[in-house]
Amino acid sequence: MKTKICDWCGQEKPRSEFAKMHPSPDGRRSQCRDCRKLMRRQGAEFMREYKKLPSDEGEPWQG
């Protein structure tokens, strides 16, 4: 089974756990469904803290 490592939680998951996104090299987003669900529930500020991103880093899930 093809797997992919989530950019946010760092867990290796099956490709099917990643939403499709055509412009990316492998046609999948780099965040797993769980992380994206969490992001939608908790909001951008929470995810910025979760990823420990500097506030000027922008929104990593966009694009």
Contact residues for Zn ion (CB under 5 A)?
Answer: 6, 8-9, 32, 35
Q: How far apart are CA 18 and CA 9, in angstroms?
A: 12
Give whole-number Cα distances, 57 to 13, 47, 62, in Å. 26, 12, 12
Residue with Cβ nearer Zn ion (37 or 57): 37
Residue with Cβ nearer Zn ion (9 or 61): 9
User: What is the nearest approach in angstroms of Zn ion to the Cβ of residue 58?
Assistant: 19
Residue with Cβ nearer Zn ion (8 or 28): 8
Q: Six-digit token pair at 7? A: 């950019």
